[in-house]
Structure 1
Amino acid sequence: MSSLLEPPLFARLKGASRILVAGAGGGFDVYAGLPLALALRAAGKEVHLANLSFSHLGGLPLDVWLDADVAAIGPDTPSQERYFPERTLARWLRLHGMPETVWAFASVGVQPLRAAYRALIAHLGIDAVVLVDGGTDILMCGDEMGLGTPEEDMASLAAVAGLDGPAERLVVCLGFGVDAYHGVSHALVLENLAALARSGDYLGALSLPRDSREGTLYLDAVAHAQAATPEHPSIVQGSVAAALRGEFGDVRFTERTRHSELFVNPLMTLYFTVTVSGLAARNRYLDRLERTVLMRQISTVIAEFRDELPHQRPPRAYPH
């Protein structure tokens, strides 16, 4: 039985000794998992960081590759890529004297991505996987009118859901409301969470405190990343960081959002946790992704599924 004194997220991970915290949707998603990784390390866990990479990995040296589609990225990994969140995070970790390897998964379809996860899990002896989404569009079932940017999230979800183990596999979202920027109705996010609660697969929410060590270091990491990639800072992590600082409304921290109106608010600092199995079971097209090898195949499958729908769930407004 759960206790108010111990959030279910940490209760489920109590028995794990080696945990993989992996950004599900690419880009800077791994940063959303950083506070969680820091808290777990402070609790005595061995925690490894990974991310589905948007960067071109093909030119990396051979010695960084563990398997065909997963590479160990460090602060000094040579690359011509200016946009390389995994290396940027590795450099920040070095500055703070922390384990500095960030594993990068290639942006591929479900079959090779699952093989890469399987190889990394075996190599590190992982006994729990936490997929982290910056935002909440990973919670979309597929019949909603707006899905956000589902391809990478669904590749990661399908890859991990189809693994034989480890037994503990969770999905954690940070940045509620951010995906409105990509057309997601967050009333439907709440509807989906309610359905997961009915099946016992919603494990509740907890807040990232600003004055905690994890909150302070997260703000520092986001600021470091923004300085390292000024031409393409993360909208998601910038929004969460702004909310954590107590800012509100249409906060401007990048020119990338100059044509949009943001709604930065305290709900963005909440972690929402669900089980991988429960979320995968509710997704209406995940089984169709099984044979995909390339990321563009996932886009095609999703589009074909959407074309077959007799109707889509329309956006809903909050009643108050």
Structure 2
Amino acid sequence: MREWLLDSDPALRWQVERDVHHEPPEVWEATRARVATEGFGARLLALQDPDGQWAGGAFFPAGFLGGEDGQPWTATTWSLNSLREWGLDPAVLRARRTAELLAEHSRWEYDDLPYWGGEVDCCINAWTVLNGLWLGADVTGIVDWFVEHRLPDGGWNCEWVEGSTRSSVHSTLNTLKGLLAYDIATGGTDATRAARRSGEEYLLQRKLFRRLSTGEPVAEWVGEFAYPFRWNYNVLNAAEYFREASLFDGIRPDPRLAEAIELIRAARQPDGTWLQARRRPGRVWFEVDVPAGEPSKWLTLSGTRVLGWWESGGQAQVRGA
């Protein structure tokens, strides 16, 4: 299975070398450098518009009016998300003045707001924080916005603007990813650390997938894993966040994750792989993973490193190894 994983695009291979094979940095860093010149990363870089955007839009492609089968995944935010998650060296896009070009030319479809100022959707704002930190843009205003827009139950909901006062697992997880990236990049503040702990507690109280009121699963999709994750919540996506947070914070895995970890373990096939579930439809630049029902290298990477982290009890990171 490990050799099967290594036979992959550089965007995936370097992570396998680091997180599964535990190769020394000089090995996986050399593979990571190839993301800019080979495979998925090079293909997506070649599709960038002269004004710094992709597909002519911030969240949706230029001219998108709906009526398609699913949401398009080709515009600027989704393209930046992919390149960042694939490990592209941000110096490549900084050399292209991408952050400056987006500040000048890109506006959100919501109220024509400036790109690096964010808008009203928690998930969109979280990705803007992640991408802004990566590219060197000033996103502190959005970080402050998250602190101010935390709901009374401890999390966030993109539908707050419609009056929702109950948090969403989707919105909360994506917000946490943005806050964690801010804390990693800057050291954080008392306010951002408190907000992150609050959001984490919101998910942990629910064991990542249960309703607090009844103890029943939130929905079937909590155990359906599909790559790319996009905005979708599932316990594997959430466990990846808690893994990264524990590596940064130097703490052991919270025992309340145990049931979610068992869902992830139960989805592992006898050959050690995880299968692609049904993906959300929508226009893409090109496919980066297998159809539903086939073994997914991306999901197998995620599942393998999450279980490895859990089974080690976080010992490696607590010791600083």
TM-score, length-scaled by structure 2:
0.28
- Return the structure number with greater strand share: 1
- Return the structure number with greater helix share: 2
Q: With a CA cutoff of 8 Å and minimum separation of 6, indicate the structure with the bigger relative contact order.
A: 1
TM-score, length-scaled by structure 1:
0.29
